Amino acid sequence: MASVVATNLKKGQCIKYQGETGIVLGLDHRTPGKGNALIAATIRSFKSGKTKTIRFASSDKADVIETEKQKLEFSYSDPNGYNFMDLTTYETITLSKELIGDATDYLKEGLSVEVLFIEGNPVTVTMPLTVELIVTDSSDGIKGDTANNPTKPAVLETGITVQVPLFVKPGDVLKVSTEDGSYLGRA
């Protein structure tokens, strides 16, 4: 762990602050009319997941934590958690449901994700922006109901339900956004 002056902090760095660890999401250098310059750092805590702004004086120091990013491929889930394979060592790494969060709706075998590790412990999982999923169940559209861009619910292979256009049928492969779960088109 290395200490840096607050003016040298960079977006994306992981730091230890006020007894917590977090990632710097943004920096704003402020120079008021009177007094010393301030650095307002927007930081997301790994423990709570909450974002807050911390003000540093330009001479304050922060501890930068060494991190490692790894690409892992989803294999399967079991009662112990979600199992991923490290493609370089072929080692299985199990991540908890709490760490994965809502991303469980998009996990399917073979999907690659990026995991951030601090001191050997996984702290965040970054999903790809889109995933391709197969429609397993979808009702037929109502004939003649074509006004105002109508949609219908469709259940995808992971169990998530997405609103899709009327022409989508079971067996179709769809592109879905992992940020908001919206239908983006056919794959």
Beta partners for residue 155, in sequence order: 137, 161
Does residue 148 or residue 80 have the better pLDDT?
80
- DSSP, collapsed to helix, strand or coil, labels residue 101 as helix
CA distance 64 to 76: 34
Assign 3-class secondary structure to 108-131.
CCCCEEEEEEECCEEEEEECCCEE
Two domains, one topology: 67-126 and 130-186? yes
Domain ranges, ordered by start, for the chain: 2-64, 67-126, 130-186
- Per the CB < 8 A criterion, the answer to whether 39 and 15 are in contact is no
CA distance 187 to 41: 40
| pLDDT of residue 145 exceeding 60 | no
Q: Which CATH superfamily is domain 67-126 in?
A: Nucleic acid-binding proteins (2.40.50.140)
In this predicted structure, what is the pLDDT of residue 72?
A: 93
pLDDT in tens, 170-186: 999 999 998 888 898 88
Domain 130-186 carries which CATH code? 2.40.50.140
Domain 2-64 carries which CATH code? 2.30.30.30
- Rounded to two decimals, the pTM is 0.73
